[in-house]
């Protein structure tokens, strides 16, 4: 039977892994341990108890033998089958990471699974019959038991709040739209967790991401490359594009060489207990909670006005500009649409909308990107023939970029030129850059493009700055747009 161990804080201690450690000491709640020198930022660790029932999850009475794998060679090309490695596998309880674990096991590696408990919304727990992470952990343990792989639970709640969630909240307060998944990969999964196990001498860290990492024969001295996966729809290099070279060198992604359909077939072939689970959707840390509910809980609500960008007409009220993203059309509840959010005034809490978002004179093909990070450590030499993604998905733009100094005179800013318009550019989102099939880095979209935002009429600007907006009276009656006019 697979062994389940709990690890408090991000510090994983050798005493927990020692054969001399008794099971009673491993499961003793709140037992203090000394910290390693590599974890000086953490004051003291306490082992936390885990109250979770595993009885409801189906499991095999005997671990399957090697014969049950059959011929898996076609699926192992991204699992380094020609080597015997010690691999730490991030296991979420979902199908993708579970299949990744089984492929690495089939390739002959010595695997230890790690479940990262990053759920921080304990004040939401009364909304559900069980904690959001319990079901995931049940399945993770059942998957490990099939092949007798040890599973360890790492509590990174505090690190997740400090490094991801607090940043997200601050970005929304400032009117930007951050990407939690990029930050989670960079700062938690392959950041805090990677730091925590650095003394445990794992050769690689693996996960169920759809991406390829190509290591040279001497990957310690030479650079590793992040490549597109075989499944272009599921490809997740966009979410991995802000990693450092040091992080990339330690990663292996077994699913980078196969498609999602093949992953599902392998899950059935392995008879995984979670083979029929649906893929998770939405922001990585919210679980079942609606995003608007999360924002309302942590930022609050503040009524403001919605103005038409071209006329300044008062169209209605909103709950706070931080609930809206540039390009958004859902949730505005305005008749005669479609309406799009085109600008936000964060000082006066005003949301500007338009039905003419896609008109020719409102182009979105030049924008700036800051907080640049290049996977090779330096920007590419050929910057006029690149491709980029401005969001997760199979779509690319051909692009060129030029580098200039930012406002502080130190950090480079990339000025990106697209061959066509993109109406969904939102400040705070990431742009990932590619040379052929290699992801070379990424950065954060800044507030302006084309040296200006969406054109607002003078009346709209004047109304936005009014101190007492109650003088506006009732919203105007919106005229239905004449047929044949496309917004």
Q: Is residue 225 part of a domain?
A: no
Do 182 and 310 reside in the same domain of the chain? no
Do 340 and 431 reside in the same domain of the chain? no
Q: Is residue 149 part of a domain?
A: yes
Q: Is residue 316 part of a domain?
A: yes
pLDDT of residue 34: 24
Do 343 and 423 reside in the same domain of the chain? no
Do 375 and 340 reside in the same domain of the chain? no
Q: Is residue 139 part of a domain?
A: yes
Do 336 and 433 reside in the same domain of the chain? no
SS3 60: coil
Residue 266 CA to residue 254 CA, distance in Å, equals: 13
Answer yes or no: 184 catalytic: yes
Which entry of 111, 131, 184, 257 is annotated as an active-site residue?
Answer: 184
| Length of the chain in terms of residues written | 487
Contact 368, 413 (CB under 8 A): yes
Provide the token pair at 218. Answer: 């001497």
Do 22 and 89 reside in the same domain of the chain? yes
Secondary structure letter of residue 329 according to DSSP: -
Do 326 and 386 reside in the same domain of the chain? no
Provide the token pair at 247. Answer: 């992080």
Which entry of 284, 388, 399, 439 is annotated as an active-site residue?
Answer: 284
Q: Is residue 12 part of a domain?
A: yes
CATH number for the domain harbouring residue 17:
3.40.50.620
Report how far apart the first and last C-alpha atoms of the chain are (Å, whole number): 61
Residues spanned by the domain of 375: 366-449
Answer yes or no: 284 catalytic: yes
> How many independent structural domains does the chain possess?
3
Do 415 and 463 reside in the same domain of the chain? no
Q: What is the pLDDT along the chain (487 residues), one digit of tens a residue?
A: 455 544 444 343 322 232 223 222 222 222 222 222 233 232 223 233 333 334 444 433 334 434 355 688 899 999 999 889 999 999 999 999 999 999 999 999 999 999 998 765 555 444 444 455 778 899 999 999 999 999 999 988 889 888 988 888 888 888 888 888 999 999 999 999 999 898 888 999 999 999 999 998 765 668 899 999 999 999 999 999 999 999 999 999 999 999 999 999 999 999 999 998 887 655 555 555 666 777 777 788 899 999 999 999 999 999 999 888 888 888 888 998 899 998 899 999 999 999 987 765 556 788 999 999 999 888 887 777 899 999 998 999 999 888 887 666 667 899 998 988 787 788 899 999 999 999 999 999 987 555 456 789 999 999 999 999 988 999 998 877 655 555 4
Give the CA-trace dihedral at 18, 23, 28, 31, to 10 degrees.
-10
Do 104 and 124 reside in the same domain of the chain? yes
Do 165 and 64 reside in the same domain of the chain? yes
Secondary structure letter of residue 189 according to DSSP: I
CATH number for the domain harbouring residue 402:
2.40.30.10
Please tell me the pTM assigned to this model. 0.79
């Amino acid at each position: 039977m697979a062994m389940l161990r709990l690890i408090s804080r991000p510090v994983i201690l050798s005493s927990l892994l020692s054969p001399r450690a008794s099971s009673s000491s491993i499961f003793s709640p709140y037992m203090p341990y000394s910290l390693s020198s590599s974890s000086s930022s953490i004051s003291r660790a306490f082992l936390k108890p885990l109250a979770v029932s595993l009885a409801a999850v189906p499991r095999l009475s005997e671990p399957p033998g090697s014969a049950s794998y059959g011929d898996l060679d076609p699926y192992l090309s991204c699992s380094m089958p020609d080597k015997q490695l010690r691999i730490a596998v991030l296991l979420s309880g979902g199908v993708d990471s579970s299949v990744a674990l089984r492929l690495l096991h089939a390739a002959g590696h010595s695997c230890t699974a790690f479940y990262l408990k990053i759920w921080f919304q304990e004040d939401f727990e009364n909304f559900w019959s069980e904690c959001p992470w319990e079901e995931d952990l049940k399945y993770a343990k059942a998957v490990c038991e099939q092949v007798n792989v040890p599973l360890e639970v790492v509590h990174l709640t505090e690190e997740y709040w400090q490094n991801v969630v607090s940043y997200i909240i601050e970005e929304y307060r400032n009117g930007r739209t951050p990407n939690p998944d990029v930050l989670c990969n960079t700062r938690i999964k392959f950041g805090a967790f990677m730091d925590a196990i650095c003394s445990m001498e794992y050769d690689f860290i693996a996960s169920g991401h759809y991406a390829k990492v190509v290591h040279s024969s001497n990957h310690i001295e030479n650079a590793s490359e992040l490549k597109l996966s075989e499944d272009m729809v599921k490809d997740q290099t966009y979410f991995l594009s802000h990693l450092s070279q040091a992080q990339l060198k330690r990663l292996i992604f077994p699913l980078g060489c196969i498609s999602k359909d093949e992953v599902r077939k392998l899950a059935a072939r392995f008879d995984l207990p979670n083979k029929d689970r649906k893929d998770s959707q939405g922001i990585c840390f919210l679980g079942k909670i609606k995003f608007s509910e999360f924002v309302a809980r942590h930022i609050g609500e503040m009524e403001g006005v919605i103005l038409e960008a071209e006329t300044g007409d008062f169209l209605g009220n909103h709950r706070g500009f931080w609930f809206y993203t540039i390009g958004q059309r859902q949730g505005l509840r305005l008749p005669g649409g479609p309406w799009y959010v085109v600008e936000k005034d964060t000082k006066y809490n005003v949301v500007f909308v338009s039905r003419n978002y896609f008109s020719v004179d409102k182009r979105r093909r030049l924008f700036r990107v800051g907080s640049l990070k290049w996977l090779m450590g330096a920007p590419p030499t050929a910057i006029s023939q690149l491709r980029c993604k401005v969001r997760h998905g199979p779509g690319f733009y051909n692009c060129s970029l030029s580098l200039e100094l930012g406002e502080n005179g130190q950090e480079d800013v990339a000025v990106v030129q697209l061959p066509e318009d993109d109406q969904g550019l939102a400040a705070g989102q990431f742009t990932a850059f590619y040379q052929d099939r290699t992801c070379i880095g990424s950065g954060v979209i800044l507030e302006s493009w084309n040296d200006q935002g969406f054109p607002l009429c003078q009346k709209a600007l004047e109304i936005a700055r009014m101190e007492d907006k109650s003088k506006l009276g009732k919203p105007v009656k919106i005229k239905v747009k004449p047929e044949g006019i496309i917004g």
